[in-house]
Each structure stands twice: as C-alpha cells, then as structure tokens.
Structure 1
C-alpha cells in the first residue's frame, strides 16, 4: 500500500561532510568521504565551558590525508 508523506517545510541549519538532502525519487550511490580533522581539545557540542586550557598539536606530515581512491562502484539507477 503506497503511503504519502507531506513536508510543509524543511529547514537545514548545517550540513557536514558526506551529507545530503534528497527530496523526491532519487538514487545516491557510490559516495565517498575523505577528510582529516585535528582537534586539540576535542569537539565542543552544546553548552560547554572551558577554562585555562593550553593545547599543542604537532602535525608533522607534509600532506594532510593523502587519498588514492580508485574503487569502482557500479550502480543500477532506474527511476519510474
């Protein structure tokens, strides 16, 4: 039995790496996400208090996140 979902409005405050909003009939295949993050004290989410923090982050590599992504991802994308 087909069902109907109705959105009056979609509000997006923030999108991060490897994120999408797909509305309607869509096919999203073969996604890859490659990134590098260096957090000295971690990641602050929500209400946070930090006092008297000293961080040293040594990142001595010459190239950040070298990527050799040669994978092949075939897909069948048929829409009616």
Structure 2
C-alpha cells in the first residue's frame, strides 16, 4: 500500500557515521562503518578522581600506511514494495 508522508522540514542536529534519516517504507541493508580513533589518555570513570600533572602524548603518523580497510563482504538484499 502506498504511503504519503509530508514534512515541512527535517532537521538533524549531529549526523554521525553509520546513521541515517529514513522516512517511509524502506529496507536499508549492507551498512558498514569503519573509523580509527586515537586517545592519548583514554577515559576517566568514577567519582573523586584526581589527575596530577598528567602529560599525554600520542604520536600517530609514523606508519607508512595507516588505516587500511579491506571490506570485501557482500550483503545481498531482497525487498518488495507493495
């Protein structure tokens, strides 16, 4: 059955990697998200933590090839719109 959806505007505040705004009857498959993240210190969890004179260094750039992703997977999709 056809669906009619009408919007004046659609606003997204912070679009992220591997995210989407889908309106209506859709079938979205085969999504992949690849990202590299570097932290010099990481994260501090808990209450009452003290970090005294913390020096953090992150040397990233000494590699010849950085972040090579070989994503050869196949994701077939079958969908029917009625």
Q: TM-score if structure 2 supplies the norm length? A: 0.63
Q: Deviations over 1:54-77 (max 9, x none)?
A: 421022322221111111111102
Q: Which residue of 2 is the match for residue 68 of structure 1? A: 70
For the residue of structure 1 that corresponds to 2:39, the secondary structure is coil
Unaligned runs of 5+ in 2: 1-6, 44-52
How many residues get paired?
68
Runs of 4+ in 1 over 6 A off after TM superposition: none
Unaligned runs of 5+ in 1: 1-6, 44-51
Say what the alpha-carbon RMSD is for the aligned residues: 2.9
CA–CA distance in 2 between the matches of 1:42 and 1:23? 37
Q: TM-score if structure 1 supplies the norm length? A: 0.64
Q: Which has the larger Rg?
A: 2
